[in-house]
Amino acid sequence: MSVTRLGAVDYLNARPLVYGLELESRLFSVRFDVPSKCAALLHEGSIDIGMIPSIEYLRGASAYRIVQGLGIISDGPVASVAVFTSRPIEAVRSMAVDTSSRTSASLLTILCREAFGINPELTPMGPDLETMLTRCDAAMVIGDPALYADPDALNVSKVDLGEHWTRLTGLPFVWAFWAGRAGGLSAEAIEALTRARDAGVAASDRIAEVYCGAERAALGRAYLRDNIQYTLDDRAEAGLKEYYKLAALHGLVDTVRAPAFF
């Protein structure tokens, strides 16, 4: 049996999905990258299965399949995808956008138009909030940099994109999931990924303590417990389909297709 090359996201929120997979060397090899890099690696064939931003499912091969039931999902505030702004969001005219992001950048465009009533100039930048805020009215960052940022210390407000999505649609938001080409994952491997998720959710406090260190452990524990879900159920799938519909409406993708699963 060949080893499946997994590309995982190198953020705290992804750690429960890969919990214990280092012990499954017969089945997997795992590498960690930012979300945009995971998508690029999958599209070019350098990995077999990627934890890809959900928008990239529509930008990749038509033969992509999603691992059933697994994802990185929020239902309300997500805490780790946010706009940090020095003025009211309705008054923002320029925004720096984290280059690590794909799904979040598209969601930002949707929310600017559908929820905030603005059309700011967007400038891709690395996720350094202080630098971003010297260049633009606001900055969108994702993952650990957004989670750890202290808006009070920066004298800015934090606008949570997960919260505003659910307020707009009444649905969860699916940030990422395991996906790859049809036939690229065995039933045994799918079972192992599901076991890893279940074990990781059960061990989320320990994961947060090891990953975040003592100073940020409480923040990490609360985040994994209260902000992130890992089951891509029917309601989450409805949120995913709504996101795809709005992405197409706003010209962010060329085509829309229904999620297809292994």
Task: Please count the structural domains in the chain.
Answer: 2
CATH number for the domain spanning 115: value is 3.40.190.10
Residues 62 and 184 in one domain: yes
CB-based contact 229:74 (threshold 8 Å) = yes
> Does the structure show a pLDDT above 80 at 60?
no
In a domain, 42, yes or no: yes
Residue-wise pLDDT tens digits, 230-244: 999 999 999 999 999
Residues 179 and 68 in one domain: yes
* Apex 10 CA angle, 9 and 13, nearest 5: 75
> Does the structure show a pLDDT above 70 at 86?
yes
> Does the structure show a pLDDT above 70 at 61?
no
Among residues 169, 194, 216, which one ends one of the domains? 169
Range of the domain at 92: 81-169
In a domain, 258, yes or no: no
Percent of the chain exceeding pLDDT 90 equals 87
Tokens of 33: 């990258």
Where is pLDDT greater, at 234 or 100? 234
Residues 67 and 176 in one domain: yes
Tell me the pLDDT band of 189, cut-offs 50, 70 and 90: very high
Mean pLDDT of 111-119: 97
Mean pLDDT of 11-39: 91
HEC readout, 68-103: CCEEEEECCCCCCEEEEECCCHHHCCEEEEECCCCH
The pLDDT assigned to 255 comes to 86
The pLDDT assigned to 237 comes to 98
Residues 198 and 138 in one domain: no
Residues 35 and 69 in one domain: yes
Residues 41 and 161 in one domain: no
CB-based contact 11:17 (threshold 8 Å) = no
- C-alpha radius of gyration, the chain, whole number: 18
The pLDDT assigned to 63 comes to 81
Tell me the pLDDT band of 183, cut-offs 50, 70 and 90: confident
Residues 32 and 46 in one domain: yes
Residues 18 and 144 in one domain: no
